[in-house]
Structure 1
Amino acid sequence: MKKSVTIIILVSIAVVFTISLYYLWQKNQEDPVVYTTQTAEKGTIVKKTVATGSIVPKEEVLIKPNISGIIDEIMVEAGDIIQNGDLIAKVKVVPNVASLTSAKNGIASAETAMETARLAYQNQQSIYDRQKGLYDRGVISANEFDQAQLTYNQAKQRYEQERVNVTAARQNYDIIRTGTTAGLGSAATTEIRATVSGMVLDVPVKTGNQVIEANNFNDGTTIATLADVDKMIFEGKVDESEVGKISENLPLEITVGAIENQKFDAVLDYIAPKGVSENGAIQFDIKGTLAMNDTTFIRAGLSANASIILARADSVLTIKEALVQYDPKTQQPFVEVETGDQQFERRDVELGISDGILVEVVSGITADDKIKVWNQIKPAQQFGRR
């Protein structure tokens, strides 16, 4: 019995020993870790943040009528280039019956008042002529003549005022009936004209639509939207985490989704002083003026992205940020530089700006130093071949 136990123990020891030898042999067959190296290169680093938005005209002008009515004819369509004063549309006035009747009655009342004033004026003129003859012959005193002259002048003035009232009543009637009248020029007109030069972006009305004039109680109906498409801006939003990094007059690089392989330069000229909550995040409006070129037409409303350039370094020594290590205690950045075959030494470095992939090296290494790729990924092992 004892002999059997001894044999089992010896066999177990032999098996374990054999397995250990086999494991060590396998480890010796593995290739040792060989670190590769990379060198620093001269390059340009641009640190930027991205804002989303769209391209819109710097100024849009809404053309509204100064009289209510129905669109009789439209002379333009979206995309047309027009000049200041060009005819856009014509409005046909549909008079209100009650207002038209009231205006007619106003004319009749004004004419009656004018006729009464005319008769009074003629009567006073006759009295004045008689008093003047008596005064010239010395029959009446100067005070009596002055009183007659004053009454005559008052009657004449009253008659002239009533004539003006009749003219005004007739003009009011014409405006209610046709929308315009002689002598008012553009103050009341059925012809809607452009107030600025530019492109017609939109004509939201059609022939036959009713339009309302702009007044203190109503914005009025927009007949057309005009803008100078040579003056476009980028309107976008940035997150509150980024707004502290940007400032006015920073350069922008605009990329438009509908225009491939082309960038447009712009300058950031507005940052909203107050943020707006959107989907739980605070967003700040920004605007940047585009430097337009004559070769590419950018349509208003196109979505775009703006790269806001926070910092830029040209022709500087750069390395991949993945090559940089940090001291666990001091957090001082350093790299390992090759001094011999698979032999490396630590070099503290001073870093500049980074774009997340490349980082500027201000001091600590040269372009000839070979830097250890300390976190390289081992190639996948091949377990068999066919």
Structure 2
Amino acid sequence: MGKNKSSSKSTLYWLGGTFGLIIIVGLTLRFTGVIGNTDSGKEVETATAKLKTITQLVSASGKVQPEVEVIIRPDVSGEIIELAVQEGDFVREDDLLLRIKPDIYQAQIDNLNAALLTQKARLEQTKATLIRAEATYLRDKELYEKDLISEMDYIQSKSEYDSQKASYKATEYQVESAEAQLRQAKEELEQTVIRAPQDGTITGLNVEVGERVLGNAQTAGTEMMRVSLLDRMEVLVEVNENDIVNVDVADTARIEVDAYPERRFEGIVTEIANSARVTGSGTNEQVTNYQVKVRIITPHNLDSSPEKMVRNEVTEDPEDMFVPNFRPGMSATVDVETQTASNVVSVPIQAVTVRDFAKDQDTTKSDDDSAEVMLASSQDDNLTIQEEDIRKVVFVVENGKAVRKEVETGISDNSHIQILSGISAGDEVVIGSYRTLTNLLNDGDNVTVNNKLSVL
């Protein structure tokens, strides 16, 4: 029994000593750097530079509106006694829209007719007086030439004749004036009947029967309704001054309307404003935009056209039958395609970052040189600030290290940017994380690729 206990204790001591020795050797090797000191590097995400077609976009938001819209305002004031249309009705050119009460204008015509007749009667009276004065003048002229009357009598008859001629001319002008006033009154009477200036759909009907409207005589008249071509719609957007230089007439565009989510429509730029619209002028929030009109060229609002288009062909794809019905005021977003570069080297936008090369050069100086520079700077009252040397760079993964490559960039779309020089297609470039790429990663750093952090 004693021998067995002694043997067990010896075995335990031997195992404990062996295990302790292993621990001591392991710690020694770790502290000396023989094992356990491999630097795995910074964890990064990467993507491959590839050849791609990039289309530069200028995005803006705005409202859908008719390309042609006529505001109907009355030329005369009065009460609406007949309204022949309702909002949404389609009308042809010269169709009756509404009537304004004509009584006051008819009474004015009657009054001017009477005034014209009075002026014509006065003209006849003046004409008779002129004929009598002319006969007297001719008689006195003949008598004067025969020395049968005095010169004073002759001058008097001539003056009377000239005066009557002037009176007759003035009366003629008064008749013409009365006739002009009568014509104007008749035109005003005709303007109490308002007809459609063009084919289109009634939009924005703002009046009812019995309502009084103000004419255009002195101020802008009452807006009664609008006649719009709803089968020709456009989007009016505001483009920032920094982007407007890239937009040209006839540029193609992609249009998204909030009322039709997950659908895209085709458009084309038709007009670019020359004058700016400035908001927040004189403040830190000042914004300068330019209005741009984008015509929607995808077929739409077919039921609002003069001849309703009916598709008779049978199709298995319901998408082929879809025709959007846009209404004025709908919200829309426009992406104008300004430039396209085909088959060019491109990388994700986040791969391109910036570095201050001047700062990097300063960090390579020795500690002694840095101390000398600091001493010289402290003795100089006029300190010189080192100018920045900011350049665009991309980090390429080569043999487990991040290699900084200076690059020149071109156009970009929403996700990728064109690389004009610096890297080639097929290079593995670092795209994240954002904090690592912008602040922590340096040229020559060891890196570990982990592309499971995000879906590219």
Q: TM-score normalized by structure 1? A: 0.64
2:417 corresponds in structure 1 to 359
Q: Verify the 8 A CA contact 1:233 1:287 in the aligned structure 2.
A: no
Give, in angstroms, the shift of residue 211 of structure 1. 1.6
User: Which of the numbers 86, 92, 111 marks the counterpart of 2:95?
Assistant: 86
In the alignment, the residues of structure 2 paired with residue 85 and residue 304 of structure 1 have an alpha-carbon distance, to the nearest angstrom, of 34
- Amino acid paired to 2:416: L
Deviation at 1:92, TM superposition (A): 1.1
Cα deviation, residue 207, structure 1: 0.8
1:121-200 equivalences in 2 (<5 Å): 161=172, 164=175, 168=179, 171=182, 181=186, 188-200=190-202
Counterpart pick for 2:396 among 336, 341, 345:
336
Instruction: Tell me, in whole angstroms, the C-alpha distance in 1 between the residues paired with 2:254 and 2:192.
Output: 46
CA displacement, residues 103-144 of structure 1 (integer Å, 9 cap, x when unaligned): 75x766665665566567679889999xxxx9xxxxxx9xx9
TM-fit CA distance, 1:363: 4.1
Paired position in structure 2 for 1:275: 278
RMSD after superposition: 5.2
Q: Could you tell me which residue of structure 1 aligns to residue 294 of structure 2? A: 289
Structure 1 residue 165 displacement after superposition:
7.5
> What residue number does 1:210 align with?
212
**Structure 1 match to 2:405:** 348
CA drift at 1:243: 4.5
Q: Tell me the secondary structure at the aligned position of residue 208 of structure 2.
A: coil
- List runs of 5+ in structure 1 lacking aligned partners: 1-13, 135-140, 381-386
Q: Secondary structure at the match of 1:312?
A: strand
Q: Is the alpha carbon distance of 1:102 and 1:344 closer, same or farther for their aligned partners in structure 2, counting shifts above 3 Å?
A: closer
* Structure 2 counterpart of 1:314, from 316, 336, 342: 342
Is residue 244–residue 290 contact of structure 2 (8 Å, CA) maintained in 1? no
From the superposition, tell whether residues 266 and 123 of structure 1 become closer, same or farther in structure 2 (CA, over 3 Å).
closer
Judging changes above 3 Å, is the alpha-carbon distance between structure 1 residues 264 and 126 closer, same or farther for their aligned structure 2 residues?
A: same
- CA–CA separation in structure 2 for the residues paired with 1:170 and 1:159: 17
Deviation digits for residues 48-91 of structure 1 (CA, Å, limit 9, x no counterpart): 34222212234432222222221111122233333332221111
Is the 8 Å Cα contact of residues 79 and 211 (structure 2) preserved in structure 1?
A: yes
Is the Cα contact below 8 Å between 1:39 and 1:369 reproduced in 2?
yes
Say which SS state the counterpart of residue 87 (structure 2) adopts. Answer: coil
Structure 2 CA distance for partners of 1:58 and 1:321, relative to 1, 3 Å? closer
2:116 and 2:179 in contact (8 A); partners too: no
The letter for the 2-side match of 1:221 is: T
Structure-to-structure mapping, 1:42-121, within 5 angstroms: 42-95=51-104, 104=111, 115=121, 118=124
Map 1:35-46 to 2 at 5 A.
38-46=47-55
> Deviation string for 1:15-57 (max 9, x for gaps)?
xx99x96xx79x9699956877542333233333422221223
Q: 1:274 to 1:89 in 2, by over 3 A?
A: closer
Evaluate the alpha carbon distance shift between residue 349 and residue 124 of structure 1 in structure 2; reply closer, same or farther with a 3 A threshold.
Answer: closer
In structure 2, the partner of 1:300 is: 328
